[in-house]
Amino acid sequence: MPSKSKSEWQKSTLEPALKRSPERQERFDISSGIEINTLYTPEDIDQLNYSESLSYPGEYPFTRGVQPTMYRGRLWTMRQYSGYASAEESNRRYRYLLEQGQTGLSVAFDLPTQIGYDSDHHLARGEVGKVGVPIDTLEDMEALFQGIPLDKVSTSMTINSTAPILLAMYIAVARKQGADVVKLDGTIQNDILKEYIARGTHIFSPRPSMRLTTDIFAYCSKHIPRWNTISISGYHMREAGASAAQEMAFTLANGVAYVQAATNAGLDVDAFAGRLSFFFDSHNNLFEEVAKFRAARRLWAKIMEKRFGAKDARSCMLRFHTQTAGCSLTAQQPYNNIIRTTIQALAAILGGTQSLHTNSYDEAYATPGEEAVTVALRTQQLIAYESGVIDTVDPLGGSYLLESLTERMEEEARQYIDKIDALGGALAAIEQGYQQREIQESSYRYQKDVESVRRTVVGVNKFISPSPKISGLIRVDPEEERKQKERLARAKRNRDQAKVTAALNNLAEVARDTENTMPAFLECVEAYATVGEICDTLRSVFGVQREFLVF
């Protein structure tokens, strides 16, 4: 044992040593404003509720992981997010990644598909296939998964406003392949609340959108029991400038809103909560990110047990996908992004993620090229098979720094959730602009710190040198948009228009009523109604959300 207390050592040894050190401008704190001590000792965790960190992995409150063996039993899913140009081109990329060892698919949809417009709509001009794959009809979805048996692969689809339509298409493709739909495995993002907070690809106002979300919960609990019905996302809020504590708090507050909406609709919490999943960002401060993931698991377990009375342990588990931080990637010295991504991926793995996407070094320029996306996948594989960090569960558990940070991060997040509860819950707080303002202020503080060099960004505000030229950048050929419009026109000519009209009319009636909308969506997509036609039908019933200013 040390001969001195920490306070005695600090006065006699640490403070004189720091005075002799050169002045440094960098901030020694984390994104949430928590100051980092020079040294952590057992005294820093003596006052904490440390018993919660001493629970075994796979046991409530899951601080140390949701499975007892974690990666000793099964690696995380390596799920590279991709999609661009056309269904055929995206299919080639998926098959390439699977050949290279990727273990799950992750679909990026283009902007028109995300906001419910067909490729031939005037608002889609110039955007078709640019940030993801264009999907207009079931025919496109069939081409997207050509040669990929859907009952043999796990698929994540990053889609929100049009989530029930794309899920219906996925189910329809599986049926056409002859797959057993009960065995489908994957996730649909289906997180509309964060769209109003940070991303903006919403179509309808929050309340009818929440109805569509809970319809998916109810439908999948009966028909696709292995499907994760939502990926409650903090990623986009963090990318917009939220701190780590804000990301965690606002994500969990949205989760509370979804669970409340589902129980208000008559669903039993243990019938659906086990299929909820989450989606977090992973940034450069390794210990902050690991603490965030551990604290999020612990806080969510308490929320589900104490607020919602969940009885099934699976209902209390926070299972999450992680993506490394896109906003941290720089166009300056782009190969530095490989190292950034490696640190971020390591944080996610040390934090116990269930699946992971690693960003590509060229993403500050374009959609990832084949070489860059291969390096990104190899980053995960190197950590998995060469680093040794997977050999034991929660390898950083017990670290004085990490346990202190985990406790403080949980407390910061709890305080935010209490504020949101006082405002009437996540939906009411969004309508009052609370989360939006908090994120804007956090983003402003961070940018000021970078510009004043209080935070270092290597290659941007320190250690500046010429950037190398990046080869192999993807440029989506404008000709792809013309081809997609031709495919859409051909699909419309070849379908039975009477079936389309009948299916859309039925959807409108169901939307005006209270019955589950998913069967109506399935009828529409199997008749080859387009995403735009289906959304226009819902616009005529639900109206359209108009953006409001936040001051």
The DSSP-derived string for 494-507 is HS-HHHHHHHHHHH
Backbone angles phi, psi at 359, to 5 degrees: -70, 160
User: How far is the C-alpha of 269 from the C-alpha of 114, rounded, in Å?
Assistant: 29
User: How far is the C-alpha of 5 from the C-alpha of 8, rounded, in Å?
Assistant: 5
pLDDT band at 551 (very low <50, low <70, confident <90, very high): very low
pLDDT band at 13 (very low <50, low <70, confident <90, very high): confident
Please answer whether residues 344 and 328 qualify as being in contact, where contact means their C-beta atoms are separated by less than 8 angstroms. Answer: yes
Average pLDDT (120-136) is 97
The alpha carbon of residue 509 and the mean position of all alpha carbons in its chain are separated, in whole angstroms, by 33
pLDDT tens digits along 476-512 = 899 999 999 999 999 999 999 999 999 999 999 999 9
Average pLDDT (396-422) is 95
Contacting residues for 99 by C-beta, under 8 A, at least 6 apart: none
**What pLDDT does 468 receive?**
87
In order of 218, 259, 514, the CA distances from 310 in angstroms are 17, 11, 26
Q: In 240-359, which ranges are continuous DSSP H helix?
A: 244-264, 269-272, 286-302, 336-350
**What pLDDT does 30 receive?**
82
User: How far is the C-alpha of 114 from the C-alpha of 45, rounded, in Å?
Assistant: 46
The DSSP element (H or E) to which 228 belongs, if any, is strand 227-228
Please answer whether residues 280 and 322 qualify as being in contact, where contact means their C-beta atoms are separated by less than 8 angstroms. Answer: yes
Q: Output the six-digit token pair for 395.
A: 């390898």
Average pLDDT (215-228) is 95
Average pLDDT (457-477) is 90
Pairing of strands 355-357, 77-82: parallel
> Is pLDDT of 31 > 90?
no
Please answer whether residues 486 and 494 qualify as being in contact, where contact means their C-beta atoms are separated by less than 8 angstroms. Answer: no
In order of 51, 74, 343, 363, 389, the CA distances from 340 in angstroms are 33, 25, 5, 13, 18
In the block, tokens 């209390």 appear at 316
User: How far is the C-alpha of 340 from the C-alpha of 328, rounded, in Å?
Assistant: 8
Contacting residues for 392 by C-beta, under 8 A, at least 6 apart: 72
Least confident window among 51-60, 238-247, 428-437, 499-508: 51-60
Q: Output the six-digit token pair for 496.
A: 């039975």
**What pLDDT does 473 receive?**
87
Q: In 125-264, which ranges are continuous DSSP H helix?
A: 138-144, 163-177, 193-194, 206-223, 235-239, 244-264
**What pLDDT does 546 receive?**
79
Coil, strand or helix: which one is 105? strand
Average pLDDT (462-483) is 91
What percent of the residues of the chain are helix, what percent strand, and what percent coil, each to the nearest 5?
A: 50, 10, 40
User: How far is the C-alpha of 53 from the C-alpha of 434, rounded, in Å?
Assistant: 32
Coil, strand or helix: which one is 200? coil
Q: In 424-465, which ranges are continuous DSSP H helix?
A: 426-431, 434-451
Q: Output the six-digit token pair for 150.
A: 């859907």
User: How far is the C-alpha of 63 from the C-alpha of 66, rounded, in Å?
Assistant: 8
Average pLDDT (79-103) is 95
Q: What does pTM read for this prediction?
A: 0.93
Residue predicted with more confidence, 44 or 360: 360
> Is pLDDT of 318 > 90?
yes
User: How far is the C-alpha of 544 from the C-alpha of 92, rounded, in Å?
Assistant: 36
E-assigned strand segments in 273-389:
276-282, 320-324, 355-357
CA dihedral 281, 286, 290, 292 (to 10 degrees): -60
Domains belonging to the chain, first-starting first, are: 50-451 (3.20.20.240)
Instruction: Name which of 143, 51, 154 is nearest 92 in CA terms.
Output: 143
